[in-house]
Amino acid sequence: MSTPSCLRLGTVLRVPATPKLAIADLRAEPVDEHPGWVRLAGTRTALPARFEVQVLLDDPECGVLLEVSIDTDTNTPVVDAMTVVRTGDRQRFGPPITGAMTRRIAVDTLLRRGVDQLAEPIVAVRRDGMVGVFQLQRDADAGESIAYGGRPAQAPSRRQAPRQAITDDFLQRVASVYRSADRAPTQAVADQLHVSRSHAGRLVAQARAAGHLGTTTRGKAGEQR
């Protein structure tokens, strides 16, 4: 069987380049009347927490609405929904919406244009016990006190003391602390050896297994004599 001419070896298939978007109009606006603002990751600018990008395209001929929010994990804008509408009026309708048309809509390009239009420069604000607080530059210049963002400053973490090696002498000490406790002997071990309650319980069990403590009655603290 002969190979079809279009599939002969050495034939180069040329795919037409996708035409660039022809943007007639693009407007980005906050969704909320009094929006919260979120700092963009790696920048000194902020965006409304929710906004829309309304676009009129000449090529492909259609209208596009992007609904955008800020991902709080990455502080980056993400498109939540896209609506494509047929343009025109009673005198003249644009072409119908098709899959081929929607595939030509460069969503990332439209989002980037919207971000460039809406992004506001910011300035850092000092707040006791807080980090990451900021103001929009225009609010600061106008003497406004409204600020956004911020999170509690983390207290220095306590370094846990390295756990002591579980030697026979150490288990004897565990047994001694356990016996000398007036009540809640396992908690006494935790307090005096600076370990968690669960770890103290394991130490008591090891001391008992090593013969430094007598057997215990189920449900009762202490040891049988």
Q: Is the pLDDT of residue 6 over 50?
A: no
How is residue 182 annotated by DSSP?
S
pLDDT digits over 56-114, tens only?
Answer: 999 889 999 999 999 988 999 999 999 999 987 666 778 899 999 999 999 999 999 99
Provide the pLDDT for residue 24: 93
Kindly list the domain boundaries of the chain, sorted by start residue: 22-120, 163-225
In this structure, is the dihedral angle defined by the CA atoms of residues 188, 194, 197 and 201, taken in order, positive or negative?
A: negative
pLDDT exceeds cutoff 70 at 207? yes
pLDDT at residue 165, rounded to an integer: 75
128/91 Cα distance (integer angstroms): 62
Residues 6+ apart with CB under 8 A from 56: 23, 24, 25, 26, 63, 64, 87
Comparing 184 with 16, which gets the higher pLDDT? Answer: 184
Which DSSP state fits 171? H
Give the CA count within 13 Å in the CB-facing half-sphere of 11. 9
